[in-house]
């Protein structure tokens, strides 16, 4: 069974931090690209960060320097550390994994269509 379970969302004030966790089932954990996406009401789902099997990372321009994606291989977990949060970071955050194990978070890593497996999401709300 394929599972992705997110946690760690919540409400913070602008400038604060949160760390999101995504626990993946062993059959998909870092087999290929894994990513974090977010979706605000009325907006499309957008890629926030991605990490490949060899730990190369990708970030959306809007979060570079503030967010960090990292793995804990002992726990089949991918984290998203979010610092200096802004109200525009408010969204539902989703963890995703690609089914194409040969794809290493390359071109268009930020496209939701490149990922086959999704978690249920965790809400992040940043107040000004």
Q: What is the pLDDT of residues 63-112, one digit of tens each?
A: 999 999 999 999 999 999 999 999 999 999 999 999 888 888 988 899 99
| Contacts with 45 (C-beta within 8 Å, 6 or more apart), sequence order | 37, 38, 39, 94, 112
CB atoms < 10 A from the CB of 121, how many? 17
pLDDT at res. 102? 86
């Amino acid at each position: 069974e394929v599972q992705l379970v997110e946690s760690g969302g919540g409400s913070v004030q602008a400038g604060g931090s949160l760390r999101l966790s995504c626990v993946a089932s062993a059959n998909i954990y870092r087999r290929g690209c894994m990513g974090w996406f977010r979706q605000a009401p009325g907006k499309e789902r957008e890629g926030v960060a991605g990490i490949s099997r060899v730990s190369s990372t990708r970030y959306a321009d809007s979060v570079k320097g503030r967010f960090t994606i990292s793995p804990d291989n002992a726990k089949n977990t991918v984290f998203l550390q979010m610092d200096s949060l802004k109200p525009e970071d408010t969204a539902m955050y989703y963890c995703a994994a690609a089914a194409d194990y040969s794809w290493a978070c390359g071109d268009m890593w930020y496209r939701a269509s490149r990922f086959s497996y999704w978690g249920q999401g965790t809400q992040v709300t940043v107040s000004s």
